[in-house]
Structure 1
């Protein structure tokens, strides 16, 4: 007999849909959550959005999925957070949780006695992620960022699980598929616990369109079909994503004014100047050069930049 599922203070019986808020430990972070428990046995899928509050196509897409999906649609169970970082969303703050100034997606595996961000990461990992069988974490270009549609899968940790993640990522209609080497964010933690996962990206610059939202919903539901939560045939892309296995993520070393000298998806050569940071008198403080031949996958579009903030990503 199929059992109820419980996350935080919410319990959802088979055939039910329950909505409310989950509080993450003593962080002050309260996130809207939807639980959908189907009547048939199956996997439990975790769907998150808005860990960064300014990534609008993914946030709106997941909000709509939480509203539209019904228990009769689901084989197994679906756990949705929409959005995680409500304060960042409402304050229109990019990248961080405004209560602590931390990037909530860079704190894993977390610490129950650490900072707000570390406590959040620990709670999400232990109270949510470990209770699920698959994770889709949805993102996009933030308020000051631009990028093409792409999907990440973890390249570190358990390689058998990473391969399961890669196979699922093939169902995503995106321009690029990136084998990530980062190991400090939510979906990577899944890989260490035998849970396949992925991170989707689309949109940016604080904008969202109906086309982007529908594309996001299509991709999420296509992966849900692959995992077995939804009935129907998985629709593979006609043009498979270009695979990126080596990516460089460059952060600013100094604060000042950022001037990118390349365009999105431009092919660059090793040693090519990608951009400069200047002070308020026009003096060059930092020059950024490509370390290998690559494609430009992301860059910050704002003039303002702080030391430690991402400025450009390229890969091959």
Structure 2
């Protein structure tokens, strides 16, 4: 019965993606797959994948980090200001360091003081959005042309592939990745095995912050400048990409990076297809929510139907 479970649950993200491709091929008359639109889909998807590669470590523990949108805005604001006042070279580490520090603080409060990761990240999300407004005010700051080259597919795609390989190796082939998934399965069991769970949690959130800091540079390059509304809703797109792709909410060994990647393409394709068909923003949001609920429901049914107990 476990073999059947693997086939159904592991293939479900690919089945849903194929259905979306078929639906939008028909409803848009193939316009969604025009060369220009495909490039747009790829570029938007890559930003979600980058940030998601960090969040996957947190999600595998059954925890949550919803700071990505606000953190992208803070990292981007710091990057453009450093680039303008000091050096373009220093802008990149500035964004990354801020991301890591944010992740460290979130992980420290969650792991050391046993505060819900959702509540801590919600508080940080609000605080960071206020910090962006304090830094930039109502003005928008343009990015130097040299950094805008990061949005070029020839530069962006190889970097993302490298990040996928590195994060994939850490997540799947190292003890740290196993500990993260083990915490999602049973935190007490991992702790009884002698693993420093607090350290693992903090490091997982730091990796999430690191990847969000890197993602902020690509979001910044795509938009061309920083403002206090940059990144709004970005965290929701990442979470939807994971859960539509079949990443279990509870974490554990069912957390797979390929599910994130497939889910990222699904959410971007869904948004692009709805836009081309003429759906308004409000309808797009409702459909996204409905699709997410449907997929989570199907995954729940599959898990109950093909679990060992059901047999």
Give the TM-score normalised by the residue count of structure 1: 0.24
Give the TM-score normalised by the residue count of structure 2: 0.25
Larger RCO (CA within 8 A; separation ≥ 6): 2
Higher strand proportion (structure 1 or 2) = 1
